[in-house]
């Protein structure tokens, strides 16, 4: 077998370790393992958006999407990873990208069939699929529902054709509305993604987007501030985006208007009707475990004495080659004990409800005493409220979240 030469941004294959390597004694003592989710990455898009720093790749041409081979690679990847999570029920599945809705409903049906055959899915497990209005066809969403998807996440970003063009999106406002309407008819719950602080956007234009979005009555709304990420087209050719003060005013406006229609801000960038929060994302924010399969996918897996992070090969062709050969993993690193508290806080403090101190102990293997100095500082600065069992960010803590999280950086 010939292993292809790796480009500079790809690591050599990570050492394939026996399960005993992960189970050996170590510094941590985790009394219980957290809930487990599965993330599946489908990396292709119709075209790369200029703001996007995700591992996504434009489809080359007609028939260029290698659905069958990629599904075989995912199956091999998942099968090879089973010893790491053996016997643990999977609470949620999230199929992200890229644009997963480029894959046919038949392919998604096969993928979910493979997952069910290999993993013990919890009863009523939430299964989410990301969808782009630019790939929308009538009845396509219903076909995904029939395949077993229970929740759709529709990447609208804006309903304004001018802003959509500036963002490099492949759909227009009319397609966005049609996709959301179809999602509402096909699914009991779904998510609508919007972006704000767009090039040239002001409060009036934001209100116009919100008018349309809220009229569609989404049970869940995710709101993302447009940021200029390194190694993107916008980083090389940055557009003029609103100043910070205007962006803050926009976020206040979003929070005010969503609250008026019963959408509760349960996470920094997520608003939902009661009972419609995203269980998969909640598991991330609560420092749960997740196995990631697919090109560039990340995993966090806990064992009795350590927490491990893994990464698959990013390039789709290399990923398929390596996964089918039995070694999809490009990196496999044990999280330093000193970093676990900070990693926990990066996630848990994003939640309006904060976290239970007992969850911190169970998921990091560290005592509450180890974070008391940082908690004291945070409380003195008005960033958290706490009692003997819970810690919650205040409104000020939400507004200055980075400052709050930084208090837990290892010394």
| DSSP-derived secondary structure for 330-343 | EEEEEPPGGGHHHH
User: Which domains, ranges and CATH numbers included, belong to the chain?
Assistant: 19-283 (3.20.20.70), 353-410 (no CATH)
Whether the predicted pLDDT of 239 surpasses 60 = yes
| Kind plus residue range of the DSSP H or E element containing 175 | helix 173-186
Closest CA to 127 of 114, 143, 112, 110: 112
Whether the predicted pLDDT of 6 surpasses 60 = no
pLDDT in tens, 29-80: 998 999 999 999 999 988 878 777 778 888 875 557 999 999 999 999 999 9
Distances (CA, A) of 120 to 37, 72, 124, 299, 371: 11, 20, 12, 18, 36
| Kind plus residue range of the DSSP H or E element containing 123 | strand 121-131
Query: Exposed, middle or buried: residue 328 (CB in 10 Å: 0-12, 13-18, 19+)?
Result: buried
Whether the predicted pLDDT of 347 surpasses 90 = yes
For residue 61, the model assigns a pLDDT of 55
For residue 400, the model assigns a pLDDT of 93
pLDDT in tens, 266-292: 999 999 999 999 999 999 999 999 999
pLDDT mean over 147-175: 91
Whether the predicted pLDDT of 256 surpasses 90 = yes
Whether the predicted pLDDT of 226 surpasses 60 = yes
pLDDT-derived band at 11 (thresholds 50, 70, 90) equals low
For residue 332, the model assigns a pLDDT of 95
The mean pLDDT of the chain is: 91
Closest CA to 151 of 243, 256, 282: 282
How is residue 179 written in tokens? 């996709």
Whether the predicted pLDDT of 360 surpasses 70 = yes
Distances (CA, A) of 160 to 49, 55, 138: 16, 26, 22
Could you give the angle at which helices 140-147 and 105-118 cross, rounded to 10 degrees? 10
For residue 236, the model assigns a pLDDT of 82
Give the number of other Cβ atoms within 10 Å of residue 162's Cβ: 14
pLDDT in tens, 99-144: 999 999 999 999 999 999 999 999 999 999 999 887 767 789 999 9
| C-alpha–C-alpha distance, residues 384 and 395, integer Å | 9
- Maximum Cα interatomic distance, the chain, rounded to a whole number of Å: 61
Higher pLDDT, 11 or 151: 151
| Kind plus residue range of the DSSP H or E element containing 357 | helix 357-364
How is residue 131 written in tokens? 């969808």
Give the number of other Cβ atoms within 10 Å of residue 228's Cβ: 15
pTM of the model: 0.93
Torsion, Cα 65 66 72 76, to 10 degrees, reads: -80
């Amino acid at each position: 077998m010939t292993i292809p030469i790796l480009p500079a941004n790809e690591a050599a294959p990570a050492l394939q370790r026996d399960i005993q390597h992960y189970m050996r004694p170590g510094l941590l003592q985790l009394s219980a393992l957290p809930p487990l989710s599965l993330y599946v990455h489908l990396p292709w898009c119709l075209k790369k958006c200029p703001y996007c720093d995700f591992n996504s790749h434009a489809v080359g041409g007609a028939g260029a999407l290698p659905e069958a081979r990629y599904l075989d690679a995912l199956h091999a990847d998942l099968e090879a990873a089973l010893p790491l999570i053996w016997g643990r029920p999977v609470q949620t599945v999230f199929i992200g990208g890229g644009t997963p809705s480029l894959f046919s409903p038949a392919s998604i049906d096969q993928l979910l069939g493979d997952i069910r055959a290999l993993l013990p899915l919890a009863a009523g497990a939430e299964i989410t699929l990301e969808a782009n209005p630019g790939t929308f066809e009538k009845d396509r969403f219903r076909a995904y529902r029939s395949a077993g998807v229970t929740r759709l996440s529709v990447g609208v970003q804006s309903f304004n054709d001018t802003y959509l063009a500036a963002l490099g999106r492949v759909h227009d406002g009319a397609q966005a509305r049609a996709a959301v309407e179809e999602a509402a008819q096909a699914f009991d719950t779904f998510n609508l993604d919007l972006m704000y602080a767009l090039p040239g956007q002001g409060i009036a234009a934001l209100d116009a987007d919100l008018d349309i979005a809220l009229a569609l009555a989404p049970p869940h709304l995710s709101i993302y501030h447009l940021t200029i990420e390194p190694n993107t087209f916008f980083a090389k050719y940055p557009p003029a985006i609103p100043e910070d003060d205007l962006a803050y005013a926009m976020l206040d406006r979003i929070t005010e208007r969503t609250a008026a229609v019963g959408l509760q801000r349960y996470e920094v960038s997520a608003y939902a009707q009661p009972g419609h929060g995203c269980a998969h994302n909640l598991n991330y924010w609560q420092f749960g475990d997740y196995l990631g399969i697919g090109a560039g996918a990340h995993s966090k897996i806990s064992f009795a004495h350590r927490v491990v992070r893994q990464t698959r090969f990013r390039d789709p062709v290399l990923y398929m080659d390596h996964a089918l050969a039995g070694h999809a993993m490009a990196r496999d690193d044990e999280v330093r004990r000193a970093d676990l508290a900070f990693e926990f806080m990066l996630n848990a403090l994003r939640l309006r409800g904060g976290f239970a101190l007992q969850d911190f102990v169970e998921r990091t293997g560290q005592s509450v005493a180890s974070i008391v100095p940082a908690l004291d500082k945070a409380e003195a600065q008005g960033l958290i409220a706490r009692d003997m069992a819970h810690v919650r960010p205040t409104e000020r803590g939400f507004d200055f979240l980075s400052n709050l999280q930084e208090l837990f950086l290892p010394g």
